[in-house]
Amino acid sequence: LAFEPPAFGNATVGGAVAAGLSGPRRATAGALRDFVLGVAILDGVSRRLTFGGQVMKNVAGYDVSRLMAGSLGTLGLILEVSLKVLPRPVAEATLRFDLPQEKALEALNAWAGQPLPISASCWHEDVLTLRLAGAQAAVAAARERLGGELVADASAFWSDLREQRHAFFAGDETLVRLSLPSIAPPLDLPGAQLIEWGGSQRWWRGDVAAAREAASRVGGHAVLFRGSDKSAGVFQQLPAPMLKIHQRLKAAFDPRGVFNPGRLYPNL
């Protein structure tokens, strides 16, 4: 699966779709929802509903199946799912650069506009780690062009990042995931951060309200990914028009409110 979903030890395919989580390759390959071709679900009034298809050429019309990605089981039980797969890249190489956050973000945004086979990135503690993937010649040319330090065996690094075994994620402190425009500057938040997806996904251990304020200033939002105090809400409050869409979808798929009431938003 090109979007590299985390397994966290015991994930199922249906659970991965419901959670909507994508891994390090998401910025270049696309999100989980982009790979959902079709689903069969059981809705809130015991109807079996089928959407989409099993292959790309059979997918037509409004793509209802993608609504299941990230729905956290609030719209129905996923019975079947068809996912698009891509071939594994022929060659991979991981490079390491010593760069402060501002310079790393500048480099990532500059590289994003160039024909480079970048498949993943991670910045933490003034070290930018970059993964190249694709044809042998393309990877070799990019290595020579970008420079940096070649990491001999980086598979464990990317696996640990995907599964959140990286040292940054250790412990049980509150963990916030910020989704931002890739061109957003460094955020004024105290403490360590870990940045993925070319700057679009940033992790921070701290107060979710402070994270949401900082994210909103640059056109993003923040989610409480881990933490015992959920009084501020796991997800950032939706604008009224967007909330109305969610309410109508919930009413269509689960009119009696059977599935995970309040899991995404209160009174939903």
**Is the whole-model pTM more than 0.75?**
yes
Give per-residue burial for 208-229: e unless 16+ CB within 10 Å, then b: bebbbebbeeeebbbbbbebee
CATH topology of domain 13-83: 3.30.465
pLDDT of residue 57: 58
> Residue 96: in which H helix or E strand, if any?
strand 91-98
pLDDT of residue 52: 86
Q: State the Cα–Cα distance between residues 226 and 252, nearest whole angstrom.
A: 30
Locate 167 and state its tokens. 């040292």
In the chain, CATH 3.30.70 covers 91-162
pLDDT of residue 3: 96
Sign, Cα dihedral of 238, 182, 162, 133: positive
Tell me the pLDDT tens digit for each residue of 72-95: 999 999 999 999 999 999 999 999
Tell me the pLDDT tens digit for each residue of 214-264: 999 999 999 999 998 888 899 999 999 999 999 999 999 999 999 999 999
pLDDT of residue 22: 97
Cα distances from 99 to residues 28, 125, 128, 236, in angstroms, run 22, 9, 6, 31
Task: Give residue for tokens 């490079």.
Answer: 95
Q: State the Cα–Cα distance between residues 210 and 222, nearest whole angstrom.
A: 9
In the chain, CATH 3.30.465.10 covers 13-83
Give per-residue burial for 24-43: e unless 16+ CB within 10 Å, then b: bbbbbbebbbebbbbbbbeb
Q: State the Cα–Cα distance between residues 128 and 148, nearest whole angstrom.
A: 10
Looking at residue 260, the DSSP 8-state letter turns out to be S
Looking at residue 237, the DSSP 8-state letter turns out to be P
**Which of the residues in the chain have pLDDT under 50?**
none
DSSP secondary structure of 53-72: -SSGGG--SS-GGGGGTT-T
pLDDT of residue 116: 98
110 CB burial (10 A radius; 0-12, 13-18, 19+)? exposed
Q: Specify the CATH class of 91-162 in words.
A: alpha beta
